[in-house]
Every structure is written in C-alpha cells, then in structure tokens.
Homo-oligomer: A and B are copies of this chain.
Amino acid sequence: MDLSRRLRSRGHRVTPQRKAVLEVLQENEGVPLDPEAVFELTRERHAGIGLATVYRTLELFRDLGVVLRVHLHEGSQHYEINTGGHHHHMVCVSCGSVDEFDGCVVDDLEESIREDSDFVVTSHCLSLFGYCPACLTAR
C-alpha cells in the first residue's frame, strides 16, 4: 500500500485508524468531506476512533500530500483525496451539493499576474456558487 510507504518514509507509523480514514476518503473521491463526516464514516469501520485522531490524521495526510483541503463557502474545512488532477468545485447554495469541474482558467490568470506585477503566485483557490440542476428543476 502506498500510504504505508509514505508514512514510514517520514518516520510515521501505520495504524488501523489511518488506514480506515484513508479508505473513507478513497471511497468518497470527488466528495469533499468535513472532519465530522470523516469521523462518522470512519467509525463504521473502526468503531473506537476519536474525533481528535481524525483531525490529526487529516492534517498529517495534508502534509503528506495525500489529501487536499477544499475551501467551500461557509462553515468547516473540507478534505478530499488528492488524485493529482487539478480541479475546482461548484457548490449549490440551495442544497449544498458539490460538483467538480476541470479546466481551470487560473493558469492563464497567473500568467498575466506574473507579467503585470511582482507578486509570485504559487497556488490559488477557486470555487463557484450557484444552483445545481436538481434545485433548478425543483423551483
């Protein structure tokens, strides 16, 4: 398993809790989950896990590049498995559902920023808000 290698190479230990959290994230590829949701889902496969462990695990995974932190509009942080593909999210302001979209235009923007200013852009954060098809038809 790739996780084991990544953990051990940095002096971390492989624990059932970490494996369980990883499995939950993998099963929910493309669905950003908040720590509470990860906690609930992980409990189903590792009953005794504590919420603090989930927080610590998500932070560690982020450090290792295993997960990405997603900034949705409000409330708590969300995490999703890092598949390597660059994408952003469309968030429905009515039902809260989240869709991915590829084809990020910010690369072009970063280019023009690089030309127009002395600011060096290393990353960005982009989310779109609006109404998903289901909520549109429901109105």
Copies per assembly: 2
- What 1/0 mask marks residues of chain A from 90 to 115 whose CB sits below 8 Å from any chain B CB? 10110000010101011011101100
A124 close to chain B: CB less than 8 A: yes
Q: Residues of A with Cβ closer than 8 Å to B? A: 71, 73, 90, 92-93, 99, 101, 103, 105-106, 108-110, 112-113, 116-133, 136
Q: A105-B109, A109-B105, A113-B101 in contact; A131/B120 too (CB < 8 A)?
A: yes
Cα(A128)–Cα(B120), bound, Å: 9
A81 to chain B, nearest CB (A): 21
Cα(A120)–Cα(B128), bound, Å: 9
Could you show 28 A-B contacts with beta carbons less than 8 Å apart? A90-B113, A90-B121, A93-B122, A99-B117, A99-B119, A101-B116, A105-B105, A105-B106, A105-B108, A106-B128, A109-B128, A110-B128, A113-B128, A118-B132, A119-B128, A119-B130, A119-B131, A119-B132, A120-B131, A120-B136, A121-B128, A121-B130, A122-B129, A123-B128, A123-B130, A124-B126, A125-B126, A126-B126
- Closest partner residue, chain B, to A134 (CB atom): B118
Cα(A18)–Cα(B121), bound, Å: 37
CB–CB B122/A125 < 8 A: no
